[in-house]
Amino acid sequence: MQSAYISHPLCLKHDMGTHHPETPARISAIEDQLIASGLFGYLRHYDAPEATREQLLRVHDAQYVDQVFATAPKQGVVELDGDTSMNPYTLPAALRAAGAGTLAVDAVMAGEVENAFCNIRPPGHHAERGQAMGFCIFNNIAIAAAHALTHHGLQRVAIIDFDVHHGNGTEHMFHEEPRVLMCSTFQHPFYPYCGADSNNQHMLNVPLAAGAGSAEFRAAVTDVWLPALYVFQPQLLLISAGFDAHRDDDMSSLRFMDSDYAWVTEQLKTVAEQCCAGRIVSLLEGGYELYSLGRSAMQHIKVLSGL
């Protein structure tokens, strides 16, 4: 079965300024690698729809959603958070980014595709129930997970997060939701300075010290994530795919390599094949050094597609 590739041209129009690392060029860096590798034509392409208000409200406060809509500028730029701003295209892009995840869940649940990668921005995993944060406006992966639970009636959804930053928003939204198992690795101590002490059996956070690389990452996956995933038996596996733990990405001090992203995807694909007919939905989070981002995402998508 094919893999889906979900994106939208508006994700290239959200722009927080020339010096901001979360740049539109990130989308193109991934797409260029997929084209150069010959993978692009083999993926099943979808345009992301806008997420509905109902979908957003499953994880966000109505007051916050109203505030984002009211703040969206007709021209110029307005700040939502110290490092997150909106231009006139940000709100439509954020709605498409969230909608990509729900469409991906629908497509894999319907069996149209085995798995899906959403090449989207703004990213989502720092966005809280009532607050934009860390380049994120709506929590795309949480919206996808809530869609799987509520709309599709799933009882066990796993969220994997290998971005270098902890997915604080995702953790907070599902901290009291035993139908969600969250497995994450992240540099610690590091932004957003939480997650190391979740003290929760369905939030399996493995903090990694600055300088950690392939060996530490693979040990966390092998020793902590995989045993828990096989016990949990997810019906759907969601991935917050951030590539900013790469050694070439100076956003952080972790030292992952391209091959680590291929390896972890192979491990997760095996889990999904054994537990849930291979159903995986992966959403782009961070990754700011354009060359390593493009290569790492390509490795990830190549394994997902089985090509």
Which stretches of the chain bind Zn ion, using CB under 5 A?
Answer: 163, 165, 242, 244, 286
Q: Which is nearer to Zn ion, 234 or 286 (CB)?
A: 286
Q: How far is the CB of 286 from Zn ion (least distance, A)?
A: 3
d(CA 141, CA 269): 18
Residues with Cβ within 8 Å of 205's Cβ and at least 6 positions away in sequence, in order, are 166, 171, 182, 184, 185, 186, 195, 196, 198
| Phi, psi angle pair for 282, to nearest 5° | -115, 135
Q: Which is nearer to Zn ion, 15 or 244 (CB)?
A: 244
Whether the CB-CB separation of 261 and 285 falls below 8 Å is answered with no
Q: How far is the CB of 289 from Zn ion (least distance, A)?
A: 12
Residue number closest to Zn ion, CB atom = 286
Residue linked to tokens 């079965």: 1
Q: How far is the CB of 253 from Zn ion (least distance, A)?
A: 13
Sign, Cα dihedral of 228, 233, 238, 239: positive
8, 125, 126, 147: which is the annotated catalytic residue? Answer: 126
Q: How far is the CB of 294 from Zn ion (least distance, A)?
A: 16
Q: Is 126 a catalytic residue?
A: yes
Q: Report, in angstroms and rounded to the nearest whole number, the Rg of the chain calculated over CA atoms.
A: 17
Q: Which is nearer to Zn ion, 105 or 284 (CB)?
A: 284
Residue linked to tokens 């869609």: 147
Question: Which of 181, 142, 169 has the alpha carbon at shortest distance from 276?
Answer: 181
Q: How far is the CB of 258 from Zn ion (least distance, A)?
A: 17
Q: How far is the CB of 186 from Zn ion (least distance, A)?
A: 8
3-state secondary structure of 256: strand
Q: Which is nearer to Zn ion, 168 or 299 (CB)?
A: 168
Residues with Cβ within 8 Å of 283's Cβ and at least 6 positions away in sequence, in order, are 100, 101, 104, 117, 118, 120, 123, 124, 140, 141, 144, 238, 239, 240, 241
Q: Which is nearer to Zn ion, 99 or 169 (CB)?
A: 169
d(CA 107, CA 46): 10
DSSP 133: B
Q: Which is nearer to Zn ion, 163 or 171 (CB)?
A: 163
Containing 183, the helix (H) or strand (E) segment is strand 180-187
Burial (CB count within 10 angstroms: exposed 0-12, middle 13-18, buried 19+), residue 41: exposed
The amino acid at 64 = Y
d(CA 69, CA 132): 12
- Give catalytic residues, as residue numbers: 126
